[in-house]
Amino acid sequence: MQVIHLEGTEDTPKVMLDKGTGIFEISGRSLPEDAAEFYSPILNWLGEYAKAANPKTDFVVKLEYFNTASSKLILDTLSKLEGIPNTTVVWYHYEDDEDMQEAGQEFAELVDVPFEFKVY
């Protein structure tokens, strides 16, 4: 499978999806001008990955901020993980960032994927 490696910018998160190394991570800030366009390749990649997934998948989310448009696409991304066995979402947040912690908890309630919450 092709690796997706997008360097983060001020408006877009860093994305690393690499089946070979087992690294699946989105980090940084997500407020792209066109969230649907930005997340489309990620959703497509996860759809392909689900057909022949690794035995275990830890999907790491280290977002500092995301806007409303990104929220829907992040939910779509997490929903794609529902069909992948032995997947865990590892949701990082800063200790004093209650908003990001609560956002992770809300996503955890909306998708059928186990979440681990970690502070960094």
Give the domain ranges of the chain. 4-119
Question: Rounded to two decimals, what is the model's pTM?
Answer: 0.96
User: CB of 92 within 8 A of CB of 62?
Assistant: yes
Condensed to tens digits (0 to 9), the pLDDT of residues 10-56 reads 999 999 999 999 999 999 999 999 999 999 999 999 999 999 999 99
DSSP 74: H
Q: Give the percent of the chain with pLDDT over 70.
A: 100
8 band by pLDDT with thresholds 50, 70 and 90: very high
Inter-residue contact 30 to 74 (CB < 8 Å): yes
Element holding 26 (H helix, E strand) = strand 23-30
Look at residue 60 in the predicted model and tell me its pLDDT. Answer: 98
* Three-point CA angle 63, 99, 17, nearest 5°: 20
Amino acid identity of 2? Answer: Q
Alpha-carbon span 93 to 113, nearest angstrom: 18
Task: Give the model confidence (pLDDT) of 63-93 as tens digits.
Answer: 999 999 999 999 999 999 998 999 999 999 9
